[in-house]
């Protein structure tokens, strides 16, 4: 499956946001 650059950026943003929500409360790590 091929993605456009815009779709890739959207997916990355969603993944990073989800990871931050999971990781921050448990470990207090700030992901920049």
**pLDDT value for 14:** 94
d(CA 20, CA 29) in angstroms, rounded, equals: 8
Q: What average pLDDT does range 18-24 have in this prediction?
A: 77
Torsion sign across C-alpha atoms 21, 26, 28, 32: negative
pTM: 0.54
Domain spans in the chain, listed from the N-terminal domain onward: 1-32
**pLDDT value for 9:** 97
**pLDDT value for 20:** 79
Q: Are 23 and 31 in contact (CB under 8 A)?
A: yes
Torsion sign across C-alpha atoms 29, 21, 23, 32: negative
Helix (H, G, I), strand (E, B) or coil at 32: coil
The alpha carbons of the chain give a radius of gyration, in whole angstroms, of 12
């Amino acid at each position: 499956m091929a993605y456009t650059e815009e779709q890739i950026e959207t997916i990355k943003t969603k993944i990073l946001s989800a990871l931050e929500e999971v990781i921050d409360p448990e470990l207090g790590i700030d992901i920049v």
